[in-house]
Amino acid sequence: MIVVILEGSRSNISKMQSKFFNDGNDNKITVNQIFEMKKKKEKVAIITAYDYSSALIYDKAGVDGVLVGDSAAMVMLGYDNTNLIGMREMLVFCGAVSRAVKRALIIGDMPFGSYQSSHSKAVHNAVLFVKAGCDAVKIEGGAEVAPIIRSIVGAGIPVMGHIGFMPQTSRMWNNYKLHGKTTESALLLIEEAKELERAGAFGIVLEMVTDEVAALISQNLLIPTIGIGSGLNCDGQVLVSHDLLGMQEDVQLKFVNRYARLSEIIFGAVSLYTKDVKDRNFPQDTNCFHMNKDEFAKVLEKLNKEKKATG
Ligand code: KIV
């Protein structure tokens, strides 16, 4: 395959590196380390997280990054698309995740409407993500969001791009499809990816992009590509935790590997709990807290006396 790297983007990356990146010498994964993984050809594993208890487990399991995705709108809040979640809810999820995660890079997904209207609003909201404990933010969009990325990176906040299928806007354009199937679409995606790199993004999510085009983009960028439904050749992968854990029985996506069937496990456990309560099998004596026998005898004696006194 042909590898084309623009000198412009190379110098942009090194400028960013000297300005913002640190050496990452503690246990916490930094954007610099994510960037270095690409150089070392080490794949980057990212999972979405929204709550404290799950994020604790994912971090302990060794993921490189957790994305507090706006997919929270659907999997946590039950909306039918991601556009209905706002900053207020996203910051609650980010706070919970950041209190749990000690090692992985935490990326906050800027919700629809939080970065489009002005650069100052975009920077203001990105700062709120950092104050909620995020190490970086992600925004959806191609060349049109490059100036916004420049502003946020200019404020010192690392930004991850997101092209291909973009859930925030696809619904409105009825564009629920695989991207990079035609020459025109492939060339546009490659150009957009380069534009995001030039703008200073430290990585780019490629969602629902053909394997061939995702491979070309990955080879043409210095920054890592993080694939979701985009084949084998991205520099890393991201999946929605609820999909890979099998939390929703009715959701079966071609590009997802279900590593567990938690919905079945949870259903079984809660059905058993309900039956045990009804059948008086739960709680058992081993689940009880007992009062001291003498103290209890005193209570009974007092109650008996009171009963007698009131007739
Ligand atoms: O919100 C999300 O979970 C995402 C991933 C699908 C990349 O943006």
Kindly give the residue spans of alpha helices, DSSP state H, lying in the chain. Answer: 7-19, 31-39, 52-60, 72-75, 87-100, 119-131, 146-154, 167-170, 183-199, 211-220, 241-244, 262-278, 293-310
Q: Report the C-alpha gap between 156 and 190 in whole angstroms.
A: 26
Pairing of strands 65-68, 225-228: unpaired
Q: Phi and psi of 280, rounded to 5°?
A: 60, 30
Please report the sign of the dihedral spanned by the C-alpha atoms of residue 59, residue 41, residue 207, residue 204. positive
Q: Measured between alpha carbons, how far is 247 from 241 in angstroms, rounded to an integer?
A: 8
Q: Is 207 a catalytic residue?
A: yes
Task: Output the tens digit of pLDDT for each of the chain's 311 residues.
Answer: 333 333 444 445 555 555 554 444 469 999 999 999 999 999 999 999 999 999 999 999 999 999 999 999 999 999 999 999 999 999 999 999 999 999 999 999 999 999 999 999 999 999 999 999 999 999 999 999 999 999 999 999 999 999 999 999 987 887 778 999 999 999 999 999 999 999 999 999 999 999 999 999 999 999 999 999 999 999 999 999 999 999 988 777 899 999 999 999 999 999 999 999 999 999 999 999 999 999 999 999 999 999 999 97
- Which listed residue (36, 207, 295, 301) is catalytic? 207
Name the residue at shortest CA distance from atom 4 of ligand 1: 69
Q: What is the pLDDT of residue 4?
A: 36
CA distance 239 to 275: 35
Ligand 1 pocket test, pick from 46, 68, 70, 71 with the greatest ligand atom count within 8 Å of Cβ, gives 71
* Cβ-contact 229, 208 below 8 angstroms: yes
What pLDDT does 14 receive?
Answer: 52
- Counting atoms of ligand 1 from 1, which one is nearest the CA of 167? 8
Tokens representing 38 are: 């690409």
Structural domains in the chain plus CATH codes:
7-266 (3.20.20.60)
pLDDT of residue 9: 47
- Can you read off the two tokens belonging to residue 137? 């933010």
pLDDT at 25: 45
Whether 228 is in the pocket of ligand 1, judged by its Cβ within 6 Å, is yes
* Token pair recorded at residue 147: 């100036």
**CA-proximal residue: ligand 1, atom 5 (nearest):** 69
